[in-house]
Chains A and B, each alone.
Chain A
Amino acid sequence: EAQVTQNPRYLITVTGKKLTVTCSQNMNHEYMSWYRQDPGLGLRQIYYSMNVEVTDKGDVPEGYKVSRKEKRNFPLILESPSPNQTSLYFCASSRRGSGNTIYFGEGSWLTVV
């Protein structure tokens, strides 16, 4: 079954404590992205990757890091989380090229206190 899997799905953490949200896809997709969703703002892209070792900033990259060491994985790293990073996070993947479906993970609810 085609899947994008995110973990953890729910997390409450404290300010400054480093955390990683993992994302894995089983479809051999080249493209992967991270989005955050905030009330009244919709979803905004944080980072994206077009292939292994190729990453770039999206619209709201501040406070986040990513890596793409393997094609299937695209972790989102919060080195020093702050309360304004409390949000719902989505990972997405798709095959390179036009006319392809974009697959989203189920979302990760993150609260920073």
Chain B
Amino acid sequence: AQKVTQAQTEISVVEKEDVTLDCVYETRDTTYYLFWYKQPPSGELVFLIRRNSFDEQNEISGRYSWNFQKSTSSFNFTITASQVVDSAVYFCALSLYSGGGADGLTFGKGTHLIIQP
């Protein structure tokens, strides 16, 4: 069975600081998908990124970047120049099928990110 570990339960930084959220996963399959979701205080899940196991290229989207390293089974998420609006719970998740069907998504326990003004 697969497993996702987000060792950081809560992180608090001051606005404009850079912050990295760690995600370590375990799976025996060679084909899998990794996700990051954001959950703001309003509760909905906001999709941020999907990455398949064959694509180890790092991804940058504005202030967000993701570092996928199969060698260490990690898929870390960095926010550059953090803003108060980034305050949320962030979940890393793993699926053997991107459709989330047969095995669904295995979520980490989440990291609560607090950005202080």
Chain B, interface SS category: loop
**Residue in chain B with minimal CB distance to A30:** B101
Asked if A96 is at the interface of the complex by the 8 Å CB criterion, the answer is yes
The answer on a CB contact under 8 Å between B104 and A48 is: yes
CB distance from B25 to the nearest CB of A (A): 13
Partner of B107, one of A43, A50, A106: A43
- A41 CA to B108 CA, complexed, in Å: 8
**Residue in chain B with minimal CB distance to A38:** B109
The answer on a CB contact under 8 Å between A98 and B98 is: yes
CB distance from B11 to the nearest CB of A (A): 15
- With most chain A CB atoms within 10 A of its CB, the pick from B100, B102, B108 is B100
Contact with A along B95-113 (1 / 0, CB 8 A): 1011111101111111000
Residues of B within 8 A of A45 (CB): 104-106
Q: Report the contact-size class of chain B (Cβ under 8 Å from the partner).
A: 20 to 34
- A94 CA to B104 CA, complexed, in Å: 10
Asked if B16 is at the interface of the complex by the 8 Å CB criterion, the answer is no
The answer on a CB contact under 8 Å between B110 and A50 is: no
The answer on a CB contact under 8 Å between A107 and B43 is: yes
List 29 interface pairs A-B (beta carbons < 8 Å), by A numbering: A30-B99, A33-B101, A33-B104, A35-B104, A40-B9, A41-B109, A42-B109, A43-B91, A43-B107, A44-B107, A45-B104, A45-B105, A48-B101, A48-B104, A50-B102, A92-B105, A94-B98, A94-B99, A94-B101, A95-B99, A96-B99, A97-B97, A98-B31, A98-B98, A101-B50, A102-B35, A102-B47, A102-B98, A107-B45
Interface residues of A (CB under 8 A from B): 30-31, 33, 35, 40-45, 48, 50, 58, 88, 90, 92, 94-102, 104, 106-107, 109
Interface residues of B (CB under 8 A from A): 6, 9, 31, 33, 35, 43-45, 47, 50, 52, 91, 93, 95, 97-102, 104-110
Q: Given A33-B105, A42-B107, A43-B91, list of 4 further CB < 8 A pairs?
A: A30-B99, A31-B100, A33-B101, A42-B109
